[in-house]
Amino acid sequence: MKYLMQTLSSSGATASGGIAMSKRGAMKLQIQLFYKQLTEGCGKQHCTNENCASNSSNKKLSCDEAAAQAILLAKNKVELCNDHRSKIARTDNLRSDMRIYNNGLRENAEETPATTLDIKNIAYLFHKVPLLKEVVCRSCPDYCTLWKYCTTKQASVESMCLPPLKQAISNVFSNSKLLNRQTEDSKQEQPTSAACATNNLNSAAPKTIKTVPYMPTVDMTFFRTLFVHILEDEQLQEALNEAVSKLIHEVEKEVSRNPNQYKTDPNYLNLIVIMLECPLMQSPESLEEVFPTLLKIVAKLPLATQVALVHHWSMYDGNQLRNIIETIQQLIAYQVAMNYMDETDRAAHNDETIINASKALNILYFSSILGGEVDCTRDEQGAAASKLMRDAAPAGEDDFHIGVIDAGDWVSDLGKELKLVGLDSIEPLVPQTEFVNEALNDVIKIDKDYANYRISQQGTNKYSFLHYPFLLTTLSKTTYLFYDNRVRMYSERRRTLMSSLFSGSAINPFLKIQVRRAHIINDTLVQLEMATENLKNLRKQLYVEFDGEEGADEGGVSKEFFALMVEEIFNPANGTFILVEESQLFWFNPESFEGQMQYKLIGIILGLAIYNNCILDIKFPAFLYKKLLGRRAKFRDIKDIYPVVYRSLCDILSYSGNVEQDMMLTFRVEYSDIYGCPHTHDLKKEGNKIPVTNSNRQEYVDLYSDWLLNTSVEEQFNAFLGGFELVLSKSPLKYLFKPKEVELLLCGSEHYDFKELEDSADYDGGFTRDSQTVKDFWSVVHELSEEEQKTLLQFSTGSDRAPVGGLSKLKMILARNGPDSDRLPTAHTCFNVILLPDYKNKIKLRERLLKAIKYSKGFGML
């Protein structure tokens, strides 16, 4: 709830002019003041208030704790510190600008106090803002005399310079033409070295910008500095606030009357860029009305002007961009807190303010990607190989997937125009986690939102958060994927029933696999090979039967099936995969005797696991999931699986001596396979004749990395990828998830919090949370070793991994299974149910439970 906490720290009441605050507004303001008092203090040294951060005896509260405490104090009408005042937040970047300019203006002088507007700052402000100076001259006939006096005497700023300056700010910021004139005036001045330093803050090198239509022409370094000086005085703040409010509402009306104005007047982009960085947008008053109106203007921008903004903002450094993002996220959290936390039928995807904020964040999201390190290269060879494999498989009957979304539809229009997707980002300006809004995810009704997305793909204007997946948590995206997979399964079931009616023969609506435990690999591969004769079979719901065992597959049998398959597939004795000792991860065996069909069918197994929502205990390097999403592995990925090799290559790159003479390397590499047989490979033609030198060592490292991670296992991996995509080629997987999220989706989490499992558990058959046997059970569980706890998970759910979102998402059920007896506990893994006799004491419960989880395996043996 990160942004909800930030919202509570700045949420206040709507107060415009002489309009009185509403009761709700007054309460919000109280919460705001208490939150600031609890987190920042009142500013008074040695404050004695026990609810103030300035009290040295108080412990520091987290955001969550402070927010909860603030609500409680406001509800109980506790008194605030006398000296506590609500102040408009200032960004670190603005403070930095202020220091740079003040230092350039006044050498060896102390920094201006935050509450005083220095005369020299007034002089500087007039000097740097010629348009303001012009307006002041018109407002005050004796301006020149006052100006001379102000710059030579220590006169009172408030009594002599402030009124005309306040009028000037009001005039300029309430008139779009005057504001854009100021933009032109400010750009005519040569930037100082300090300004350049500020503009390139945190940038490793000057950025180049692509020329696109409608580019903003504003110099934001100038305006950031101007805002800093205005914020030094409350009267100037008030003038700016009133002017900005008037300007934004007038622009919004003008845009509504003439929406095509965007295409001919780039001044609107200047206004947007300036206003989004105005610190007053973070104030409580702005969050109520002004800022949502500004985002409404942004949301109406046509695609060409969105592209222009992306390129403009990509020139910012991360801190500057983050300030804008945090303000928008704060607004979303504010809307959620005020309107959707009471669990009513209201849906966030119908909220105009949240919709407009999402569209604005979409522009910033691509700006962050474009301005950072980007790799847009695709694994064309892998994609071509997997396409050939899919094309080689018979298509089967006509597709009855009515309304099922094609994978390409998941890419946003802005992403298509920029030719960028989230996977292209290596190191964005702002981490992608900063775009996730947890407060919003808590109130999204995913089933309705997914339905809206499907409807929107048929040409309607329905809004869905799936248009902007960067807002979503991994858990939310997993739930969306679950719905999408289920829709495909039900579509196939409906198609099968239709085919049965027309053909007159019974067709199984499930992908049914019947296997013998002793021959699970061979039985599965044979049946999957038969299933691929019609690709639509792979999109049916999986149904597994173990030969000679009872147990209807409601999910639990499939979980055990996948667990046994993985155990066999990754058995090093089979030679299909090798276990890399230094990392304890599995990788493809380049010298494997297995054919492409074997790897293809293994890829199908992994695809079916994701499609049927099953978690596998597999240990691939993290970059494999990047390769599954269509990207080639790079040099930086070697450290995941071959850390020693990675360090050696780094040593080559950083070596200060003569690489050719001291290391005597060539572009031919020598290696041994798992059987001990020596091999060689030329990274370039006649590589043994090409020495590695200081000038070509980067090429050597890149070629070696590509061979080690891609080329050497190309045949095996491409077959594996082809099988994976036979199942998931139409899935939104690669457009919703990042590689780390795919790993979490497929492998689950190894973070086990059994307290979460206990808190989320339900009870049945006469058990309650207060039953003695229930208390004994959880006491025993918390005392188990980690391996025993994982075995318990395997026993009760069919998997020893925690799903996305943690153990609380399992929803375990403890059901009473009769009175005390010597019977062992049993489980329905399909529904995460443990059937527990009402044992007479904890000792007996522990003994019976440990025996059950250790020796139970299979179905029909309980």
Q: How far is 364 from 314, CA to CA, in rounded Å?
A: 8
pLDDT computed for residue 88 by the predictor = 34
Q: Is the pLDDT of residue 698 over 80?
A: yes
Distances (CA, A) of 262 to 215, 255, 277, 300, 361: 12, 8, 20, 9, 19
Residue 227 has pLDDT above 80, yes or no: yes
Over 90: is that where the pLDDT of 109 sits? Answer: no
Phi, psi (degrees; rounded to nearest 5) at 615: -100, 135
- Per-residue confidence band for 213, with pLDDT thresholds at 50, 70 and 90: low
Whole-number Å distance between alpha carbons of 137 and 101: 25
Q: DSSP label at 689?
A: G
Segment (H or E) for 588? strand 585-588
Which region, left, alpha or beta, applies to residue 332 given φ > 0 means left and ψ of -120 to 50 means alpha? alpha
User: DSSP assignment, residue 232?
Assistant: T
**pLDDT tens readout for residues 798-857:** 777 788 888 877 888 899 888 888 888 888 877 788 899 988 898 999 998 998 888 765
- Report the pLDDT value the prediction gives residue 390, as an integer from 0 to 100: 59
Secondary structure, 3-state, 439-463: HHHCCCCHHHHHHHHHHHCCCCCCC
Q: What are phi and psi of 92, to 5 degrees?
A: -60, -35
Least confident of 24-28, 208-212, 219-223, 270-274: 208-212
Nearest Cα neighbor of 5 from 54, 72, 58, 66 is 66
Confidence class for position 684, pLDDT limits 50, 70, 90:
very high
pLDDT for 100 equals 36
Ramachandran category for residue 42: left, alpha or beta (phi over 0 → left; psi -120 to 50 → alpha): alpha
Whether residue 752 has pLDDT greater than 50: yes
Predicted confidence band of residue 624 (pLDDT cuts 50, 70, 90):
very high
pLDDT tens-digit series, residues 456-489: 777 677 888 988 999 999 999 999 999 988 888 8
Chain position carrying tokens 């229930």? 774
Rounded CA separation 53/59 (Å): 8
Instruction: Please report, rounded to a whole number, the percentage of residues in the chain having pLDDT higher than 90.
Output: 21
DSSP code string of 394-415: ---SPP--TTPPPGGGGS-HHH
Q: What is the mean pLDDT of residues 526-551?
A: 82
Alpha-carbon gap, residue 54 to 41, rounded angstroms = 4
Task: Report which of 245, 493, 440, 453 is spatially closest to residue 329, judged by C-alpha positions.
Answer: 440
Tens-place pLDDT, residues 293-346: 999 989 988 888 899 899 999 999 899 999 999 999 988 888 887 777 655 556
Residue type at position 94: L
**pLDDT tens figures, 355-373:** 999 999 999 999 999 999 9
As a whole number of Å, the CA-based R_g of the chain is 32
Whole-number Cα distances in Å, 141 to 11, 136, 147, 716? 42, 9, 11, 84
pLDDT digits (tens, 9 = 90+) for 426-440: 899 999 999 998 888
Topology at the third CATH level for domain 636-709: Hect, E3 ligase catalytic domain (3.30.2160)
Q: How far out from the chain centre does Cα 645 lie? A: 32
Tokens 């080689």 map to which residue?
392
Tracing tokens 């001044």 back to the chain, one arrives at 267
Tell me, what's the pLDDT at 21? 34
Q: What is the mean pLDDT of residues 719-726?
A: 91
Please give the torsion angle defined by the CA atoms of residues 111, 204, 92 and 73, in that order, rounded to the nearest 10 degrees: -150
Where exactly are the structural domains of the chain? Answer: 2-75, 92-210+218-291, 636-709, 754-855
d(CA 821, CA 30): 59
Give residue 112's pLDDT. 34
A 10 A CB-CB count for 317 gives 18
State whether residue 427 is helix, strand or coil: strand
> Are residues 303 and 417 in contact, defined by beta-carbon separation less than 8 angstroms?
yes
- How crowded is residue 421: how many other Cβ atoms within 10 Å of its Cβ? 19
Nearest to 560 by CA among 542, 577, 539: 542
CA dist., res. 416 & res. 266, Å (int): 23
Q: Which two tokens stand for residue 838?
A: 């009402």
DSSP string, 45-110: TT---TT-TT-TTSPPPPHHHHHHHHHHHHHTTPPPPTT--------HHHHHHHHHHHHHHSTT-P
- According to DSSP, the β-strands at 511-515 and 542-546 are parallel
Backbone phi, then psi, for 748, in 5-degree steps? 70, -175
> What pLDDT score was predicted for residue 181?
63
Residue found by looking up tokens 């100076």 in the block:
133
Tell me the per-residue pLDDT of 329-340, one tens digit each, with 9 for 90 and over.
Answer: 988 888 887 777
CA distance 267 to 290: 19
Catalytic residue among 63, 137, 747, 830: 830
Residue 185's alpha-carbon distances to 219, 223, 705, in angstroms, are 10, 12, 52
Nearest CA among 216, 626, 638, 208 for reference residue 421: 626
Report the C-alpha gap between 694 and 47 in whole angstroms: 63
Does the pLDDT at position 557 exceed 50? Answer: yes
- The tokens describing 410, both together, are 């998941």
> Which tokens sit at 155?
């006169």
Average pLDDT, the chain: 77
Please tell me the pTM assigned to this model: 0.77
Q: Is 150 a catalytic residue?
A: no
- Judged by DSSP in three states, 764 sits in strand
Distance CA 795, CA 839 (A): 19
Which residue type sits at 343? E
Dihedral Cα 148, 151, 156, 157, nearest 10 deg: 100
Q: What is the pLDDT of residues 386-443, one digit of tens each?
A: 666 656 555 444 343 334 444 455 678 898 888 888 888 889 999 999 999 888 898 8
Q: Compute the distance between CA of residue 616 and CA of residue 745 in angstroms, rounded to an integer.
A: 9
- What is the CB neighbour count within 10 angstroms for residue 803? 19
How far does Cα 409 stand from its chain's mean position? 20
CA pair distance 637, 621, nearest whole angstrom: 9
Q: How confident is the model at residue 610 (pLDDT cuts 50, 70, 90)?
A: very high
One-letter identity of residue 195 = A
Token pair recorded at residue 803: 């799903």
pLDDT of residue 381: 66
pLDDT exceeds cutoff 80 at 177? no
Which stretch, 226-235, 476-485, 500-509, has highest mean pLDDT?
476-485
CATH class of 754-855: alpha beta
Paired residues of 578 in beta bridges: 587
